[in-house]
Structure formats: C-alpha cells, structure tokens
Structure 1
Amino acid sequence: MSAIVLLVIGLGAMALGYFVYSKFIAEKIFRLDPDFRTPSYEYEDGVDYVPTNRYVLWGHHFTSVAGAAPIVGPAIAVIWGWLPAFLWVILGTIFFAGVHDAGAIWASVRNKARSIGALTGDVVGKRARSLFMIVIFLVLLMVNAVFAVVIAGLMMDFSSAVVPVWGAILVALIIGQLIYRRVLSLPMVSILGVLALYALIGLGPSVPLQMPESVGGMSGNAVWILILFGYATIASLLPVWMLLQPRDYINGLQLFIGLIILYGAILLMNPSMVAPAFNGNVPEGTPSLVPLLFVTIACGAISGFHGLVSSGTTSKQLKKETDVRFVGYFGAIGEGSLALAAILAATAGFASFADWESMYSAFGQGGVTAFVEGGAYIINNGLGLPEATAATLLTVMASLFAGTTMDTGLRLQRYIFQEWGEIYGLDWMKKGVPATLLAVGSCLLLAFGAGGADGSGGLIIWPLFGTTNQLLAGLTLLVITVMLVRLKRPMWYTLAPLCFLLVMTVAALLTQLRGFYNDGNYFLLFLDIVVLIAAVFVSLECAATLKRHRREMAQQQE
C-alpha cells in the first residue's frame, strides 16, 4: 500500500474531527463562555498566571505535551503491524485525546486553574485526591528522569545536534523579549525565530560538539543529565513568558515545518508500506497486541500527562475560555499528526521488508532510531536532502520536544510540591525555590540513586510509564465526567472513552504484573501493585460519587 493513502486518510479524519466533533464538544458539552473571567486575569502575577495569545499558548501546550513520546510509542507499536497503530492514533486523537485535553483545561479554568489532582479533592473526595496525587507524582518523576536520559543519549550519539538544541534556548529568550515588549509583530517574530532555528540546524553538522566519554570520573551521559537538570531548575522558576512560552511556540512552528518537509517528501517519493498491516510473525517475547497497544501508544492517541499540562500550566495562561478548543483539541490534533508521521517513517522508511524486520528484531526496538533513520531515508529520496542533514533535522526535532516536555514537567512537579504544602499546611513548601529543589532532588535521587553513576535510574521504572500514564488519563476523564453530571450535561462523550481506557489499562497492569513476577523483578512488581490499588480505589470513589450525583438529580426531578 502507498504511504500517501494513509497520509491523506489520517490527516483528513483529524481535520474532520477538529472542524466538526470538537465544535460540538465545545458548544454543547463544555459550553465554553467567551465572557468568563479566566484565572490568568484573576490571579495575574507575571510569572505563572499570564494571559497569553492563543497561538503562542497553543505552541507552549502542544510542544509540552508532545515531547518524544508521540514518536517513540508509535514507532515501537508498529511491531504488531501498521494498521492497529494507525487506527488507534486516528480514533484516539479524535474521540479520546482531544476531548481529554480540552476537558482538563476547561475543568481547571472553571476551578481557579487548580491541577487535576487538587481538583479531585473537591469533585470526588480527599481520599481519591491523595491517591491521585501519588499517581501524578510517579508519572512526572518518570517523565523528568527518563527524558533527561533520552536527551543526553541523543546528544552523545548525534554531536551535530548539540549546537541547535542549546542555541534554541538563546533564540527563545530573545523571542520572549520581542513578543512581550511588543518590539515586533508576532508574524515577524515567528519568521525570524524559525529562520534562526534552522540556521542553527544547518550549522550543527559543521560544529559538532562531543562530550568526552568520561569527565571527572563521571560518564559523559551523566554529565549531560546534570547539566539538563541544572538548566531545568532555572527554567522552571523563570516567568513563563520569558522562556517557556517562546521556546515552546517556536518549537511548535519548527515541528510543523518538519512535518511539512516529511509529508512533502512522502508525496514526492510515494513510498510503499514495507511493514505488514498485521504482523503475524512477531519476535519471541513480544506481548499480545491487546491490551499492550493501548499503553504503548499513549501520546499521539491519549495520554494522562496531557491532563497535567492542561491543568498545570496551560490553564493559568488561557486568555479566553473559548480558546480551550483551539489550544486543547487542536493541540491533540498536532500531536496526532506527529504520531502519524512516526508510523509512516517507521514502516515506509525502509528499502525492504528485510530491513524493517532487522530493525524490529525484538519488542521495544525501533523508537526514535526508526523514526530518524526512516524519516531521513524518505526525505533523502523525496527531496534530495542529504541523509545526514535530514537525520540532524529529525534528531533536533525530537530533542527539542523532549526538552520542552522536561521543562514543563519539572515546573508541574514543583506545582505538586506546592499543592502538597497547601494541603498539609507546610508554608515553606509553598514557595517556588524549595518546591523546585524538592522536585529536582527527587528526580536526581531516582536517576543516580537507582541507576548509579550513569544517571539512568529513571529507565528502571520506565516499563510502568505506559500503564501509569494511561491510568492517569482515565482518572482525569472520570473527574471531568463527574463535573458534567453535576452540571447536568451529557456525560457519554467522556464516559465511553474512560471506560475503554480503564479496562485496557487495568488489563495491561495485570499482564505486566505476571511478567514482573515471572522475571523475578519484585521492585516493579511492588510498584505495579501500588498503581493497581490506586486505580481501583480512585475508580470506586469516582463511581460512588457519580452514582450519588445521578441519584440526587433523579430525586430533584421527581
């Protein structure tokens, strides 16, 4: 089959989802009000609460939720064949992710921009809130610790990406000043920023910077991890308009240009899907497609981490409530487009089926490597761009997204500690610097305490990320559903996705539980049990709350 067919069907379906389905959800279910006073105005402080142009905010939201996950997950899941991954990405984006992301922003905005974890206490109950906050903390801990390893690994393997990755920070700082001091119009700033970013990408291969294998007794990988956390500490404390917003915005533009390049190359090259639609000859040890597909592909279909960004940073910057549809739902569409590109690159970016099969010789292989190599192959054959340059372009794209997600993730982890300070009356923990140091300290403790001198400790608990993350998405949909019931609005548009997601996630947790036990991995076995217990208790709490509200509504109607 031609990759062009999947490209047209995929993008066409997502466009239909945005222009038709999201409009229905915004107007009939969430009933977005253009006159509602958002928390960005009510609590404006110039640091976290900043009314923001919806295009800039879309860039922040999209690149924060995207990261490397919509590349890694789909590029691993095609081991089962391209059709299951394609269907889950398209249907998940339209009916799951868009509603989930927009709903989390709406729920937070309507409740003083509180995080979805803190909001659970008001909507469901204090016990559910405590368990929910534990799940949230685990997800953020995994994301921050692992994405540092991913970025460090990319910079060790692709020295040509170092200058563009770090140069993008300087570009973002300049753009932030130009936008918020109104020196230049947004379109002009956008053009200059993109040109500067691509100039750095072009410069990268000419000025490769390679970290030594060992620095002061530490591996080069570990040094990069420390540098990344040092940077993220500063970034999480800066006002959002100074670095976070402009960096995310320019990265969002860069992604769309990268997607246009990749999609354009597909149209010109017209590659065939060398991978099978369904792979009936998966490598030994590959888990079953159901339920593992639905936790392997999270970002790009639906992801609980999105709810944390939506209710953590995005809701504090929303200028008008009606911007929820563009920022939240269209942000999910952008991520679905990236996941679609990852599927096409990882299945049509090989010269033959044998080459593809060699890449996917075991479950867990593929990922960013398949995306970069497959995408570079397509761009080289479609546009004539040298494969090394194309590989640098795609590597920088993946690194920048992972970096922006890490920036936002650490800020969100700081919010979690501050919310714990508020909940438990710990005044010192409410302050930015102590909360940030606790967030960074917990990540470093996992990275180096569990992983040793190379700082890769986050990878130890990463096998649980997919299930924990999807559990978080299901619980977020539960909170949104309870809010809709309380407001006497239709709930099936959130209830149906959450039921499907909870069933698949619990099934995946049980599957992993058996695998960890058989492998004798008792640490992950223990964590799996903790997450499973939290899932059951929060689900029961939410179900009881839902039942109570529906009973009260029925009594009022009598």
Structure 2
Amino acid sequence: MITFLVSIVLLIVGYFTYGKYVEKVFGIKQNRKTPAYAQEDGIDYVPMGTKTNSLVQLLNIAGVGPIFGPIMGALYGPVAFLWIVLGAIFAGAVHDYLTGMISIRNRGAHLPQLAGKFLGKAMKHVVNGFTLLLLLLVGTVFVTAPAALIHDLTGNWMSLSVIIGLIFVYYILATLLPVDKIIGRVYPIFGALLVISAIGIGGGLVLTGAPVPEISLENMHPDNVPIFPLLFLTISCGALSGFHATQSPIISRTTKNEKEGRKIFYGMMIAEAVIAMIWATAAMSLFDGKSLAAIIAQGGPAAVVSEVSVTMLGAVGGTLAVIGVIILPITSGDTSFRSARMILADYFNISQKKLAPRLWIAIPLFIISFLLTKIDFTLLWRYFSWANQSTAMLALWVGAMYLKRSNKNHWIATLPAIFMTMVTVTYICNAPIGLGLSEMISYTIAGVTTVLVTMLFIRSKTNEQDALLVDDDRDVA
C-alpha cells in the first residue's frame, strides 16, 4: 500500500514543482488576448470558466485509456507504476501543457497546423493523416467499449447494435452543436461521477489494506512479453498520449487566460495519472498475474472493471463505479469526432459558423467509424496504441522546436521526444501489425532513426526572426 500512496503523492508534488517549472520555461502572458476572445464565433471559440474547462479537458483526455491501458499494463507488474508516475510528470503532462499553450498562442491551431509551422510544411500533411486516423480509431474504440459495458450492465435487455446506434446519435449532436450547448453543460456532471467512482475504488483499496506489490523492475507478464517497447504503448493515456494533443485545442479555444493553462493542461494529465494508478493498483492487488490474464482473455479489460468495482464497492457502489467508467470513453469519443471535424475544417479552410459545412464534414467520419466497429476490438486497440504514441512523439517534437525557436529550455520536451521516437519505431518494426522484424534488427533500426532525427533537430538553425514568429497566429492559417 505504501507504493500506491507514495506514487499518488509524487504525482501531486510533480504538479506543484515540475509543473510550475514547465510553466516558467514556457512563459505565460496574462495580458495576451486568448483565441476564446480574439476569434470568438459562438461555435468552437467560446470563453468558458476554468473549472468547466478543467473538467471538460479531463473527460476529453480520459477515455478508457487510463483504465483499460493500466489494467493490461498491470500484467507487467509494479514496473507499470514507474511509467505512470515518471511518464505523467516528465512526459505526458509536459506534452499536454505545451500542445495546449502553443495552440493558444497560435489561434487555437490543431496539431497538423502546428507541425506544419514548426516541423516543415510537409509534416502538416503527414500529421494531418496521422491525427485523423487516430481520432477515427479512438472514436470507434470509444463506441464499442462503452456499448459493451452498457450491454452487460443492463442485463442484455437491449441489443448491442441499438446501444451503439444511440451512442452515435449523441456523438453526432456533440460534434455539430456549439461547444457550450452539450459538452460545456453536461461534462461537469459527468466529471463529478468520474471523480466519485475513482475515489470509491481508490478509497476502497486503502481502507481494505489491499496487498500492493512493491516497486520492482522485474517483468511479471505471464507470457513474458518484453517491457520495451510494449509497456509504453499499452499504458498510454495514463502516462503519455498523443490523443491528448488532438483534444487540447478544443479547450485552447475556450480558455480565458494563459494563467489557467497549468491547471487545465498539466493538472488534468496528473489527475488522469492518478486514475491510472488506482486501476493498475486494483488490478494487481485483487488478482495475481495469471488470473488477471485469464480474466482479460475471457472478457477483456471491461470484465476486470466489473469485477473490481463489485468486489471493492458492492453491488450498488460497483454499479456506480461502472457508470463512471462508461462515461469516460463516451466523453472522449464525442470530442474525437469534434476534433476531427475541426481539423478537416482548418485543413481545407472551411468556415464552421453554419450547420451545413459542419454536417458535410461530419457525415463521412461517422460512416467510416461505423464500418470500423465491425473490426475486432483487440486489433483496433493495437493500431490505436501505435498511432496514439506516434502522435505523441510528433507533438513532443513540435513542443521542442517551439521552445528551441523561442530560445528556451527545449530539453523538457526534447528528451521525452527522443525516448518516444525509439519506442514507436521499435514497435512498428517488430510488431506483427508492422514489419514483423526481429527484436535485434528492430532495436538497431530504431536506434539509428532516433539518432538521425535527434541530430537533425539539434543542428536545425534558429534566429531572432524565428523567436518573433513562434507566437504569430497569422502563420498557421
């Protein structure tokens, strides 16, 4: 139990210390007008309060990732705790803060526009493709996962296809309507349920004195699956997730003042890491590796969620906890499609003030996503994991280049960017869904690629003009 409590304390301390340092490095400008006011349109650019923005950001980024990912990551043993804590403080929260704040400085731009500005125009198209693929996968995964949980919770009295259809109806409304009409109003309520469910499980672990394994670097995975690079893709949303870079611009367009950024972007990533710690700890403490693997193999991570919730909180409390878990993917799925609409609108320079243009962009997205629901969830999750962490890697390089051009300490983003380059290239070289190469060849290719990318970044030249243009929002159209 000490391991769990110390991990939670470290995450909180990280917010008040390293988070403050990252904010200082970035250099907030409280008197600078944010996009919420400068581009206010009543649809996507709408000023909202700090509490609302924080809860919306938390629910946007916290899909099933900080629950399903840590549950599957728990198979590796306590080494998963290290990645959640260190990854969240030094990589994930830095990633979220920089993508959110750089977006604020650049007219609420999404990642493809920022990549085009800071990594070269060609990267705008590459990242646009990556981001749209990721958002479609996330939207699809976050339809099927909550639908399955609702199906089980209601005793199968409603068919799975009907539940999926109802979720899609909600997603369409949340994608098309102004951000403050649905998302801004219902998310604070959903946020309260999320917090209650997390506190319930976490409090239950402490009060019952659940046995928590002590920190160890030993690989306890029953199938002896290698820790590197798989652990760093399995646990993504609870430590570092490129999906967050697609969500932060939604809130960068509703943030009233730059001083709110640390709480909204850095702080909500730390909050998500706390959720990930709770579920990883619950999975490790209530099941040993072999039985956990059997439950996952039989019913997926959702079966572990149900088992943990009922065991810790009883029938009624367990049901409330499961409802909290259902809310997470739904409140990330809706903003996935909203982000995809906004990115396509920005890419093709299509005004979103009228409903018709929003509708014509959204309809093809939902048709593609519906077709993807017919694909096996496990396969979708594998592609999601790689696309997710590849997007995180690209977003970190954007943050590093922004800081370098601003003549600031870029290493806070550069070091995690280097690490994730090695992780993502190794995975796609070695994984069956990728090239299927041997581990040694994959490590070699990834190592060479990482060194080359790092050298290109270090040798890239900056000048006084670059420092002046980093926050020039005219340059991201």
TM-score between both structures, scaled by the size of structure 1: 0.76
Which of 92, 101, 109 is the equivalent residue of 1:97? Answer: 92
Report the CA distance between 1:277 and its aligned residue: 5.1
Aligned position for 2:475: none
Q: Deviations over 1:346-368 (max 9, x none)?
A: 01134xx4xx5223138867623
1:357 aligned onto 2:290: yes
| Residues in 2 aligned to 1:126 and 1:237: alpha-carbon distance in whole angstroms | 29
1:461 partner SS? helix
- Deviation of 1:388 (Å): 1.8
Shift of 1:69: 0.8
Let me know the Cα RMSD of the aligned residues.
Answer: 3.1
Q: Which residue of 2 aligns with 1:87?
A: 82
Amino acid at match of 1:466: S
Q: Secondary structure at the match of 2:256?
A: coil
Q: Quickly say closer, same or farther: Cα 1:426–1:258, change in 2 above 3 A.
A: closer
After TM superposition, the structure 1 = structure 2 runs for residues 385-396 of structure 1, keeping only pairs within 5 Å, are: 387-396=314-323
Aligned to 2:344: 417
Contact 1:485/1:549 (8 A) holds in 2: no
2:244 paired with 1:314: no
Q: Is 1:548–2:460 an aligned residue pair?
A: yes
Q: 2: distance between equivalents of 1:490 and 1:278?
A: 31
1:336 to 273, 276, 279: 273
1:33 to 24, 29, 32: 29
Q: Deviations over 1:232-284 (max 9, x none)?
A: 11121111111112222222222222222222222221111379956666434
Confirm or deny: 8 A CA contact 1:421 1:428 kept in the other structure. Answer: no
1:283 to 2:222 alignment: yes
The count of residues paired between Structure 1 and Structure 2 equals: 458
Structure 2: which amino acid aligns with 1:40? A
What does 1:11-30 correspond to in 2, within 5 Å?
A: 11-27=8-24, 29-30=25-26
Q: 1:297 aligns with which of 217, 225, 235?
A: 235
SS of residue in 1 equivalent to 2:40? coil
Distance in 1 of aligned mates of 2:315 and 2:294: 24
8 Å contact 1:32–1:321 — kept in the other structure? yes
Which residue of 437, 440, 453 corresponds with 2:366? 440
Task: Report the CA distance between 1:419 and its aligned residue.
Answer: 2.3
Q: Name the structure 2 match of 1:474.
A: 393
Match of 1:368 in 2: 302
1:93·1:302 contact (CA, 8 Å) conserved in 2?
Answer: yes
Distance 2:143 2:71 in 1: 20
Aligned residues of 1:101 and 1:306 also touching (Cα < 8 A): yes
Partners in 2 of 1:359 and 1:446 — Cα distance? 28
Rate the CA distance shift 1:23–1:430 in 2: closer, same or farther, 3 A. farther
Counterpart for residue 229 of structure 1: 168
Residue 422 of structure 1 aligns to a residue in which SS?
coil
The answer to whether residue 52 in structure 2 is matched with residue 133 in structure 1 is: no
Would you say the 8 A contact 1:61–1:248 is kept in 2? no
Which position in structure 2 is the counterpart of 1:493?
412
Decide whether the 8 Å contact of 1:50 with 1:316 is kept in 2: yes
Residue 398 (structure 1) shift: 1.0
Q: What is the aligned partner in structure 1 of residue 472 from structure 2?
A: none
Q: What does residue 210 of structure 2 align with?
A: 271
Q: Does 1:77 align with 2:16?
A: no
CA distance in structure 1 between the aligned counterparts of 2:391 and 2:219, rounded to whole angstroms: 31
Distance 1:102 1:118 in 2: 17
TM-superposed CA distance for 1:473, in Å, is 0.4
What is the CA-CA distance between 1:515 and the residue it aligns to? 7.4
The structural deviation recorded for 1:426 is: 13
Q: Which residue of 1 aligns with 2:157?
A: 210
For structure 1, the residue ranges without an aligned partner over 5 or more in a row are 160-207, 212-219, 380-386, 519-528
Aligned to 1:325: 262
Counterpart for residue 62 of structure 2:
66
State the AA in 2 paired with 1:498.
A
Distance 2:115 2:306 in 1: 40
Change (3 A) 1:276 1:104: closer
Letter in 1 for 2:5: V
Structure 2: unaligned runs, 5 residues or longer: 468-477
| CA positional deviation for 1:372 | 3.1
Shift of 1:499: 0.5
Are 2:42 and 1:46 aligned? Answer: yes
1:158 maps onto 2:153 in alignment: yes
What's the counterpart of residue 109 of structure 1? 104
Residue aligned with 2:407, SS: coil
1:174 maps to none
Decide whether the 8 Å contact of 1:75 with 1:368 is kept in 2.
no
1:232 is paired with a residue whose SS is helix
How far residue 31 of structure 1 moved from its aligned partner, in angstroms, is: 0.3
How far residue 119 of structure 1 moved from its aligned partner, in angstroms, is 1.7
8 Å CA contact 2:219, 2:226 repeated in 1: no
The separation in 2 between residues aligned to 1:324 and 1:126, in whole angstroms, is 27
Contact 1:52 1:317 in 2 (8 A): yes
Change in Cα spacing, 1:291 to 1:486, as seen in structure 2 (3 Å) is same
CA distance in structure 2 between the partners assigned to 1:25 and 1:513 by the alignment: 38
* Aligned partner (choices 41, 53, 56) of residue 57 of structure 1: 53
Cα distance in 2 for partners of 1:398, 1:250 equals 14
SS in 2 for 1:289: coil
Q: Verify the 8 A CA contact 1:419 1:430 in the aligned structure 2.
A: no
Is the aligned partner of 1:400 residue 2:330? no
Q: 1:247–1:404: 8 Å Cα contact kept in structure 2?
A: no
> What residue identity is the alignment partner of 1:406?
G
Q: Distance in 1 between matches of 2:362 and 2:171?
A: 10
Question: Could you say if the C-alpha distance between residues 274 and 487 of structure 1 is closer, same or farther in structure 2, counting changes exceeding 3 Å?
Answer: closer
Equivalent runs, 1:426-437 vs 2, <5 Å:
431-437=357-363
Moved more, 462-471 or 266-275: 266-275
Query: Distance between the aligned counterparts of 1:434 and 1:309, measured in 2?
Result: 21
Question: What is the aligned partner in structure 1 of residue 186 from structure 2?
Answer: 247
- Partner amino acid for 1:368? A
User: Does structure 2 conserve the Cα–Cα contact (< 8 Å) formed by 1:70 and 1:338?
Assistant: yes
The CA deviation at 1:514 is 7.5
Deviation of the 1:446 alpha carbon: 2.5
